[in-house]
Chain A
Amino acid sequence: MRLLTHNMLSCNIKGVTNGFPLRIEVEKSMEKEVDFNIDFLKSIFSKVEWTALVEAARSLGYNDLPEEVVDSSTMLESSDFLKKFHHALLELHLEEGALICPETGRRFPVNKGIPNMLLHEDEV
């Protein structure tokens, strides 16, 4: 599971209001190189919840993202920043582990890189 996917996901249990971001529990992570696509990075940037991405990357052992992006238009011209953003968003993978709801502590398992967001009957 890439961190862009993680950035979209929030806990889907009925009644949960603060289900984002899901905390990451890592058993196994990996890195996989993908092509660098500047236009994509620039267009997706404004949709990404930055703090959630920073924390998620950190939980996978990647600490090079800046805590905050103050001046995004300048940052998005910096190739150094874009490379780090690219790496965190698209190249880090959670292979085995879990996503934990910040409100309820519910564990959503991740196996073979696929998060399982199926709910139990009493959670729908």
Chain B
Amino acid sequence: MKLKQLEGLLGNLEQFSCPKIELEQYPTSAHIASRMLFSAEKTFGDVTGKVVADFGCGCGTLGIAAALLDADYIVGVDIDAQSLETASVNAEDMEVELNLMQCDINNLNWRGQFIDTAIMNPPFGTRKKGADMNFLSVALKVATRAVYSLHKTSTRDHVKKMALRDCDATSAEVLCELRFDVPQLYKFHKKKEVDIAVDLWRFVPPKDQERVVKTFSPHQ
């Protein structure tokens, strides 16, 4: 599949009908999602034929993008029932299989080493401090191969330090800087649409770690 095709398909997905600010629900644009999954596959071979987890999957955009690039099994996790319902409808419309689960990422308890690659657009941690790092920490424990995530460019140094020092990631690399369009979803947004600079990261999880997911919440 070509990048433009993938972006086109993702553009048809339904997004949050009434986004919840406490969860920092911002849709992942088709532009970003397609580039994220496309480089994960074309540059690193981390998607096709892999078991993929989408953490904080929301309406399922990233998970569906993985499915369209022929991931073998995809699990989408979100805390919000409404989003999961939309994700389920989206998957059905696109005729792909998403395995959905309602769970708080901080209380995830998975056994085995099923997940090759984690992909996510976590909350930026603007409303709830540390939320972004909690997602990253869990993803690095669950995934055996790679973690792809979006974080505000303004937090780049912090993200790198947390990943390498606190989560023992083998590597942490910014693949590119993207513009995240945040449409005027919430009343407190004064401007119609703002661009936020975000980094697309690729992390390699620690090798041979004992893969028991324990909650690690540095800011709680």
Contact = CB atoms under 8 A, between A and B. Distances in A.
A2 B99 contact: yes
B191 interface: no
A110 to B, nearest CB: 10
A118 B103 contact: yes
A5 interface: yes
B176 interface: no
Contacts of B136: none
B194 to A, nearest CB: 32
A37 interface: yes
Interface in B61-112: 72-73, 75, 79, 81, 84-85, 88, 97, 99-104, 107-112
B186 interface: no
A76 to B, nearest CB: 16
A7 B104 contact: no
Nearest to B109: A12
B99 A1 contact: yes
A40 B113 CA distance: 14
A70 interface: no
A114 B84 contact: yes
Interface residues of A, number: 29
Given A10-B110, A114-B100, A115-B101, 17 more contacts: A1-B99, A4-B73, A5-B75, A5-B99, A5-B101, A7-B111, A9-B101, A10-B111, A12-B107, A12-B108, A20-B111, A44-B51, A47-B112, A47-B114, A113-B88, A114-B88, A116-B81
27 contacts: A1-B101, A2-B99, A5-B75, A7-B111, A7-B114, A8-B75, A8-B110, A8-B111, A9-B101, A9-B109, A9-B110, A10-B110, A10-B111, A11-B109, A37-B72, A40-B49, A44-B51, A47-B113, A48-B112, A49-B111, A114-B81, A114-B101, A114-B102, A115-B102, A116-B81, A117-B107, A118-B79
Interface of B: 49, 51, 72-73, 75, 79, 81, 84-85, 88, 97, 99-104, 107-114
